[in-house]
Amino acid sequence: MFDLQSQDYVRRSASTMTPPMARSHEEQVAKLIDVSRCIGCKACQAACMEWNDLRPEIGHFEGSYQNPDDLGPSVWTLMKFAEYENEQGNLEWLIRKDGCMHCEDPGCLKACPSPGAIVQYANGIVDFISDKCIGCGYCVKGCPFDIPRISKQDHKSYKCTLCSDRVSVGLEPACVKACPTGAIMFGSKADMKQWAGERIEDLKSRGFENAGLYDPAAVGGTHVMYVLHHADKPSLYSGLPDKPEISPVVRGWKGIIKPLALIGIALAALGGFFHWITEGPNEVTDEDEAEGERVLRESETEKTP
């Protein structure tokens, strides 16, 4: 599967070579999650488990309908429930399907040290190629959305694949297929943005003045987008980042420091080398030996009365 798609990579983790670019005409895809029509039924979670053969542990009640309690190596998508009292004092139950956002500029991919363990296809999907994953957890640090999880069993990182296997053969992701209210939609990013526009208009007409699309520019946009009633306050939705970006720390670490460090180390080594061929070794001379011997001898005689 992945070999067939290898021409299709537009980004590849820990790779200094330019990825193949011949397939320049592929359409960008996107999943649109219309939070305003999501009823939190978890059909998406069930479908995700079914399609991807994931079965997390049977957990406990943790004070919310949110189950399992967190994303995990076997939990690639998760409904999150937030009870919010708005300015009018009315309750809103903001339910959001959490999972990989498939950033156009993926922080996980930037952070990943293993060549080809994280790839981005021409259609925008960011995928983890598990056999190449080394389990370092750098993707966790790179992700602005706190998505990847490392398995305690096999020490590999997992997250939503946007059903890249389904999408590559013309199917929609499993969650999209299962969503009973059409709250999850899938198609070209352009179409999804247009449809989101219609939905936002409807929401505005129903009194949600700040309705909008969540497609954060700081990560180059995402291939999973949300229609939010309160696009001005994404963090209301169980901590969806207001301004997601790849951390400057990660940016520094995976950016300028990498080449600088190698150059520095190389320069140090070269410095030594050129010192050697210019100044040469610092060798002990016969005189030194004589002097040394002398010092030892003299002390010997001094002590002998």
Partner 1 sequence: MTNTWQDIKNANVVIVMGGNAAEAHPCGFKWVIEAKIENGAKLVVVDPRFTRTASVADYYAPIRPGTDIAFLSGVMHYLLEKDAIQHEYVRAYTNASLIVKDGFGFQDGLFSGYNEETHAYDKSSWDYELDEQGFAMSDDTWQNPRCVINLLKQHVSRYTPEMVSRICGTPQDKFLHVCELIASTAAPDKAMTSLFALGWTQHSVGAQNIRSMAMVQLLLGNIGVAGGGMNALRGHSNIQGLTDVGLLSNQMPGYMNLPLDKEIDLDTYMKTKLFKPLRPGQTSYWQNYRKFFVSFQKSMFGDAATQDNNWAFDWLPKLDVPLYDIIRAFEMMNNGQMTGYICQGFNPLQAFPDRGKIRRGLSKLKFLVTMDPLDTETSRFWQDFGPQNPAKSAEIQTEVFQLPVTCFAEENGSLVNSARWLQWHWKAAEGPGVARSDIWIMSGIFHRLRELYRKEGGAFPDPLLNVTWKYTDPVSPDPEELAKEMNGRALADLVDPATNTVATKAGTLLDGFAQLRDDGTTASGCWIFAGCFTEKGNQMARRDATDPREQGIAPNWAWAWPANRRILYNRASADPDGKPWNPAKPVITWNGTRWVGIDVPDYGPTVKPSDGVGPFIMNAEGMGRLFARDLMAEGPFPEHYEPLESPVENVLHPKVQNNPAARVFADDRAAFGSPDKFPYVATTYRLTEHFHYWTKHALINAILQPEEFIEIGEVLAKEKGIEQGGWVKVSSKRGEVVCKAYVTKRIKPMMVDGKPTHVIGCPIHWGFTGQARKGYGANTLTPSVGDANTQTPEFKAFLVNVEKTHAPVAA
Partner 2 sequence: MSPAKTVIVRYNRVNRVNHWITAICFVLLVLSGLSMFHPLLFFLSGLFGGGQWARAVHPWIGVVLLVSYLGLIVQFWRENLVHKDDVEWMKQMRFVVANDEAHVPPVGRNNAGQKFVFWSMTLLIPVLFFSGLLIWEVYFGEATSIPVQRVAVLIHSLAAVAAILVWVVHVYAAIWVRNSVRAMTQGYVTPGWAWRHHRKWLEEIASGHDKATLRKRP
Residues in contact with partner 1 by the rule CB under 8 A: 36-43, 45-46, 49-50, 55-65, 67-68, 83, 85, 90-95, 180-183, 199, 202, 206
**Pick 56 or 137: Cβ nearer partner 1:** 56
Residues 115, 107: Cα–Cα separation, whole Å? 15
Residues 290, 219: Cα–Cα separation, whole Å? 70
Residues 289, 293: Cα–Cα separation, whole Å? 6
The partner in contact with residue 272, picked from partner 2, partner 1, none with C-beta cut-offs of 5 to 8 angstroms by kind, is partner 2
Residue 139 CA to its chain's centroid (Å): 5
Per the CB < 8 A criterion, the answer to whether 84 and 224 are in contact is no
Buried b / exposed e across 139-160, counting CB within 10 Å, b at 16+?
A: bbbbbbbebbbbeeeeebbbbb
Per CB under 8 A, the segment of 46-54, 85-93, 132-140, 186-194 that binds partner 2 is 132-140
- 295 binding partner 2? (CB under 8 A): yes
The partner in contact with residue 56, picked from partner 2, partner 1, none with C-beta cut-offs of 5 to 8 angstroms by kind, is partner 1
Please report how close the Cβ of residue 179 comes to partner 1 at its closest, in angstroms: 9
- 247 binding partner 2? (CB under 8 A): yes
- 299 binding partner 2? (CB under 8 A): yes
Residues 232, 224: Cα–Cα separation, whole Å? 18
Query: Which of 6, 10, 15, 204 is close enough to bind partner 2 by CB under 8 A?
Result: 15
Please state, in angstroms and as integers, the Cα–Cα distance from residue 247 to each residue in 83, 145, 222, 253, following that order. Answer: 29, 11, 16, 10
| Ranges within 16-45 binding partner 2 (CB under 8 A) | 16
- 213 binding partner 2? (CB under 8 A): no
Torsion (CA) 163, 166, 168, 170 in degrees, nearest 10: -130
Residues at the interface with partner 2 (CB under 8 A): 14-16, 113-115, 117, 132-138, 140-141, 146, 150, 152, 155, 247, 249-250, 252-253, 257-258, 261-262, 264-265, 268-269, 271-272, 275-276, 279-286, 288-293, 295-296, 298-299, 303
